[in-house]
């Protein structure tokens, strides 16, 4: 029961499920799009993933006092009583009181036990830095202590310092006894995978895979099905670092299918979501390799299975990333016929959802990419069902209604694209493509206005953006620059004829 209380309040181990990726930390739009599903901390999930070690008991402190011959009997009694108060306060969820008590004991006589327990109380009280400092102090007081290395390694490897976390967990494996040693070995394998992901090292990825396979061999599915399934899930994540190697894809898919046989959306929503997320990535990669529609539809289906578990009002960042990823996939769906615009419409809806959920503190670059995607798709949608031109120049009848609808869509697309252009000012490559798309959007507006004034104005805007795109592409892709120059010449000829 005491261990369960600590497991609930000590949320550190949840972070490791994130695979070491931090949203909005400068990793770019691709890292944001592929953000893993957040950990939901369902009750049954907390029993599977090994958590941190709880505070050490009074008996451990007494042994240290005996070894160090610390204090007179009165001082020892006072220290032991205060320690016991802190211990009981911790498991009574009075973390500030526990922290104060453990610190006082450490001031009476600096010991590994008091410093370790102080770290546990500090983190439970929300003081992450205090926890790190206390566990580092514990390690300095007893180089042979494995508990502090284990908990500090868990704190560091998911997001802060996977290499240091790996080193600490290796030390914990060497110093701890079972069952804590097995938990340390589990986290060491995950830490190796995180370090491989952050450093891009195939060698580290293979080390992680070796560690997972050793653990899988020692954890038969029939004896510990849920732990075995969790190891399979993490092994699949490590295998993803070796994609697109065919054998890695096949092994990862096998791992995830086995894991899904044990993880349900109701009892294990986080792990269920992670399995579908990784399967979606595998199917996306296979679609990119083969172009086959069944892989595209399978990827979309896997990502759709995740959506109900993460309400947008509670998980806006993740849902924004998921909508973006779905938009990119939906855009590749082939139309049913020449007049079918549903792939464009569905993709546009996904991008609009992503934009609406993107938090205010998101980097401008992320917003710029989404605005560009939305504007490009809306522009393509506006020009898709083009009827033959009418001699009446769009004044009245069905042609007039079509021109008005087209103009409204293009105007909306231009707003998004111009916003993207402002955000791409420091990114010449993406700015060049945005300028080119803006030029095409302005040129596609068919509304002519009185004496062709509206058409002239839009052609002037198209020329402005095309010229900027041409100049930018001269240093990026001369062939694209040449084609834009041809389009500029065509528009200039039309402009002179009006």
Residue 488: give its domain's CATH number: 1.25.40
Residue 222, domain CATH: 1.25.40.10
* pLDDT confidence band for 7 (50 / 70 / 90): very low
Distances, alpha carbon 430 to alpha carbons 15, 164, 287, 328, 427, in Å: 34, 37, 25, 17, 6
Residue 6 confidence (pLDDT) above 60: no
Domain annotation covers residue 384: yes
Sign of CA dihedral 178, 182, 184, 188: positive
What is the pLDDT at residue 389? 56
Sign of CA dihedral 246, 249, 253, 254: positive
Domain annotation covers residue 25: yes
Residue where one domain finishes, among candidates 241, 269, 296: 241
Distances, alpha carbon 252 to alpha carbons 38, 39, 239, 298, in Å: 21, 21, 6, 16
Is residue 267 within 8 Å of 42, Cβ to Cβ? yes
User: pTM to 2 decimals?
Assistant: 0.82
Residue where one domain finishes, among candidates 189, 214, 241: 241
What tens digit of pLDDT does each residue of 84-123 get? 999 999 999 999 999 999 999 999 989 999 999 999 999 9
Q: What is the mean pLDDT of residues 222-242?
A: 90
Alpha carbons 285 and 451: distance in angstroms, whole number: 53
> CA torsion 314→320→323→328, rounded to 10°?
-160
What tens digit of pLDDT does each residue of 148-157 get? 999 999 999 9
With 0-12 / 13-18 / 19 or more C-beta atoms within 10 angstroms meaning exposed / middle / buried, residue 318 is: buried
What tens digit of pLDDT does each residue of 121-138 get? 999 999 999 999 999 999
Domain annotation covers residue 313: no
Neighbour count for residue 486 (Cβ, 10 Å): 10
Domain annotation covers residue 274: no
What is the pLDDT at residue 50? 83
Nearest to 33 by CA among 377, 358, 374, 422: 358
Alpha carbons 155 and 13: distance in angstroms, whole number: 8
Domain annotation covers residue 72: yes
Summary mean pLDDT of the chain: 88
Residue 348 confidence (pLDDT) above 90: yes
Q: What is the mean pLDDT of residues 172-191?
A: 94
* pLDDT confidence band for 242 (50 / 70 / 90): confident
Q: What is the DSSP letter of 71?
A: S
Helical axes 73-91 vs 2-9, angle rounded to 10°: 70
Domain annotation covers residue 388: yes
Q: How many domains does the chain have?
A: 2
Residue where one domain finishes, among candidates 212, 241, 270: 241
Place of tokens 């104005």: 457
Domain annotation covers residue 349: no
Domain annotation covers residue 261: no
Residue span of the structural domain in which 187 resides: 2-241
Q: What is the mean pLDDT of residues 6-17?
A: 37
Can you read off the two tokens belonging to residue 316?
A: 């806006």
Distances, alpha carbon 288 to alpha carbons 18, 293, 321, in Å: 25, 10, 20
């Amino acid at each position: 029961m005491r261990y369960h209380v600590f497991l609930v309040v000590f949320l550190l181990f949840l972070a490791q499920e994130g695979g070491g990726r931090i949203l909005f930390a400068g990793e770019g739009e691709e890292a944001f799009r592929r953000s893993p599903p957040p950990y939901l901390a369902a009750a049954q999930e907390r029993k599977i993933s090994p958590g941190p070690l709880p505070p050490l008991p009074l008996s451990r402190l007494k042994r240290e006092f005996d070894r160090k011959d610390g204090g007179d009997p009165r001082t020892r009694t006072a220290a032991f009583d205060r320690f016991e108060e802190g211990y009981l306060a911790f498991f009574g969820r009075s973390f500030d009181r526990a922290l104060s008590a453990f610190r006082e004991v450490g001031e009476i006589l600096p010991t590994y036990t008091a410093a370790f327990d102080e770290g546990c109380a500090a983190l439970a009280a929300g003081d992450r830095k205090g926890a790190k400092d206390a566990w580092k102090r514990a390690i300095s007081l007893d180089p042979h202590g494995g508990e502090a290395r284990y908990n500090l390694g868990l704190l560091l490897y998911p997001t802060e310092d996977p290499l240091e976390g790996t080193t600490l967990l290796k030390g914990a494996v060497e110093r701890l006894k079972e069952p804590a040693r097995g938990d340390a070995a589990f986290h060491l394998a995950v830490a190796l995978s995180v370090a491989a992901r952050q450093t891009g090292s195939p060698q580290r990825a293979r080390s992680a895979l070796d560690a997972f396979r050793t653990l899988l061999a020692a954890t038969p599915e029939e004896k510990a099905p849920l732990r075995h399934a969790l190891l399979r899930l993490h092994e699949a994540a490590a295998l993803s670092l070796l994609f697109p190697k065919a054998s890695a894809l096949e092994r990862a898919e096998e791992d995830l299918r086995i894991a899904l046989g044990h993880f349900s959306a109701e009892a294990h929503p986080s792990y269920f979501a992670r399995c579908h997320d990784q399967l979606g990535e595998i199917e996306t990669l296979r679609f990119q390799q083969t172009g086959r529609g069944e892989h595209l539809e399978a990827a979309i289906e896997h990502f759709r299975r995740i959506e109900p578990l993460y309400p947008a009002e509670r998980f806006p960042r993740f849902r924004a990333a998921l909508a973006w990823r779905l938009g990119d996939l939906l855009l590749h769906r082939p139309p049913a016929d020449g007049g079918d615009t549903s792939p464009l419409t569905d993709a546009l809806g996904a991008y609009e959802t992503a934009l609406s959920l993107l938090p205010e503190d998101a980097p401008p670059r992320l917003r710029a990419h989404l605005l560009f995607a939305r504007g490009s798709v809306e522009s393509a949608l506006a020009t898709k069902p083009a009827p033959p031109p009418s001699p009446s120049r769009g004044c009245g009848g069905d042609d007039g209604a079509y021109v008005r609808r087209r103009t409204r869509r293009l105007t909306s697309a231009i707003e998004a694209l111009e916003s993207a252009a402002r955000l791409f000012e420091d990114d010449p490559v993406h700015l060049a493509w945005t300028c080119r798309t803006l030029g095409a959007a302005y040129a596609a507006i068919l509304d002519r206005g009185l004496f062709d004034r509206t058409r002239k104005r839009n052609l002037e805007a198209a020329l402005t953006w095309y010229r900027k795109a041409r100049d930018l592409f001269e240093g990026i892709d001369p062939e694209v620059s040449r084609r834009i120059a041809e389009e500029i010449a065509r528009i200039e000829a039309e402009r002179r004829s009006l």
